[in-house]
Amino acid sequence: MDTATPAVTVALHDGDRVVAETGQVDARRHGELLLPAVDRVLAEAGVKLDAVTDVVVGVGPGPYTGLRVGLVTAATFGSVLAVPVHGVCTLDGLAHAAGVEGPFAVATDARRKEVYWARYEDGRTRTGEPAVDRPADIAERLAGLPVVGAGALLYREAFPDARGPEHVSAGALASVAAERLAAGRELLPPQPLYLRRPDAQVPKNYKVVTPQ
């Protein structure tokens, strides 16, 4: 599952292929949409949750409060089912699904006029840590490269060779994880990649509750 972008996406993977997948794009309703999506995917595959042997979650980077929805849901499943929870960089899922040959980059919308991005050698090989920057500040470095994802499509003036897919799919994310697990490679811990410090501002009148 992945909730790091406006897409809420869930898939079931049997080690060889994606068995079922569902998703919805709604940046404001991650909390409402995720569990029903899990339920739909399992129902479609005719499988109960306790048959799951590994949980894979997109760890971002992601700007949305929604990022935590996927992470806490995955961690809770892991605790109840007593199965491992693996993290995969959300950008890696997009790269995997991009189908681009040769070097390219992935960029998602970080809001505040910035993108989360990373460079890839190919669909399976990231060549650096994800970062957050203004499109104009990285346009030169990525000049001539295809750039995949909503962050590219949103800032076409900085990324002229912008391409889809726009959002990550859990199917791609699960495929990345299944490949890495099969190859005996380490996955990430299921911890969020925020890449930004929290806004350390105490809002005025925080949590004021005035019954009407």
Partner 1 sequence: MADEPLVLGIETSCDETGVGIVRGTTLLADAVASSVDTHARFGGVVPEIASRAHLEAMVPTIERALKEAGISARDLDGIAVTAGPGLAGALLVGVSAAKAYAYALDKPLYGVNHLASHICVDQLEHGPLPEPTMALLVSGGHSSLLLAPDITADVRPLGATIDDAAGEAFDKIARVLDLGFPGGPVIDRLAREGDPAAIAFPRGLTGPRDAPYDFSFSGLKTSVARWIEAKRAAGEDVPVRDVAASFQEAVVDVLTRKAVRACKDEGVDHLMIGGGVAANSRLRALAEERCERAGIRLRVPRPGLCTDNGAMVAALGAEMVARNRPASDLELSADSSLPVTETHVPGAHSHDHVHEVSKENLYS
Taking the complex as a whole, the smallest distance from the CB of residue 43 to partner 1 amounts, in Å, to 12
Taking the complex as a whole, the smallest distance from the CB of residue 152 to partner 1 amounts, in Å, to 27
Other C-beta atoms lying within 10 Å of the C-beta of residue 191: 12
The residues that touch partner 1, with contacts defined as CB under 8 A, are: 29, 31-36, 38-39, 49-50, 65, 68-69, 71-73, 75-81, 192, 194, 198-203, 205-212
Which of 126, 94, 128 lies closest to 109 in space, CA to CA?
A: 94
Taking the complex as a whole, the smallest distance from the CB of residue 174 to partner 1 amounts, in Å, to 18
Round to whole Å and give the CA distance between 178 and 23.
20
With respect to partner 1, which residue has the nearer C-beta, 29 or 134?
29
With respect to partner 1, which residue has the nearer C-beta, 89 or 142?
89
Strands (DSSP E) found in the chain? 7-13, 18-25, 55-58, 85-88, 104-111, 114-122, 125-126, 131-133, 147-148, 162-163
Residue type, 197: R
Taking the complex as a whole, the smallest distance from the CB of residue 212 to partner 1 amounts, in Å, to 6
With respect to partner 1, which residue has the nearer C-beta, 184 or 198?
198
Round to whole Å and give the CA distance between 191 and 96.
21
With respect to partner 1, which residue has the nearer C-beta, 113 or 196?
196
